[in-house]
Amino acid sequence: MIIPQKIRQFFSTNLLLKALSLFLAILLWFYISQRGQESFTMNVPIIVNHIPSSVELERASPTHVLVTFTAPPGLYQQLKDQDLSVRIRADSIPTGTRRVLISPSMITLPPGIHIQRITPKLVSLHLVRTIIRILPVELEYYGQLTVPLDRFRITVSPDTIKVQGDAAILNKMRSLRIPPIDLKKITRRHSEQFVIPLTTREGSGYQILEPEKVTVTIIPIQHR
């Protein structure tokens, strides 16, 4: 058995020298593999897509992450010219506030470019279940009127508003208040008409779908 004996001699002699040679070879390979690589960091936006029609993204925090890339020289400009983004699918995320781990697979990159680090690694998403409701218009007033309102005939056109938003909020609402009417503009001598634009308050949890405005007509009732 000459061959096995030679193999045993190879592994049993000059062990320190062979170990040092292996270490230097690994070190040389690592140096060569990293040579010519450049590292750079970019601010990349987070895009949440595939949101179901009955779900709304109320907020995402943060809206951007810092991503550090490594690539051969010359590819930085190619990457810079691309429309990079972190894309998170929402169709498999339950409603509520959820923390999602950002993975490199959420960023599409050209060949030869690698992701070294993502900061932060977690994004907080707040998803709510949405519904559509039709609510009656609720009138509001301010100022002083010299005669009671029951001496006027008041009409609203249209008298309902179509809204969409957080189901937990809309299910508690019985009507929708519109901007108030100045009572000082109402007199017993003639009719008044107010065209009131409808706007959604920021942070209300819903949005007005239609109409864009309502018309309030106030007509004095003539007593005989």
139-220 CATH fold: RNA Polymerase Alpha Subunit; Chain A, domain 2 (2.170.120)
3-state secondary structure (DSSP) of residue 120: coil
Size of the chain in residues: 224
Residue by residue, pLDDT tens for the chain (224 residues) are 455 655 555 555 666 666 777 777 676 555 545 556 778 888 999 999 999 989 999 899 999 999 998 877 766 666 666 778 999 999 999 999 999 999 999 998 887 788 989 999 999 999 999 999 999 999 998 888 777 788 889 999 999 999 999 999 999 999 999 999 888 888 777 888 999 999 888 888 899 999 999 999 998 887 65
Report the predicted TM-score, pTM, of the whole model to 2 decimal places.
Answer: 0.60
Would you tell me which CATH number, out of the four given (2.60.40.1220, 2.30.180.10, 2.170.120.30, 3.40.50.980), belongs to the domain 37-129?
2.170.120.30
Q: Which pLDDT score, from 0 to 100, does residue 1 have? A: 47
The structural domains of the chain, with segments of one domain joined by +, span: 37-129, 139-220
Residues 6+ apart with CB under 8 A from 22: none
Residues 6+ apart with CB under 8 A from 165: 56, 128, 130, 131, 204, 205, 206, 207
Torsion of CA 177, 183, 185, 189, to 10 degrees: 120
Q: Do domains 37-129 and 139-220 have the same CATH topology?
A: yes
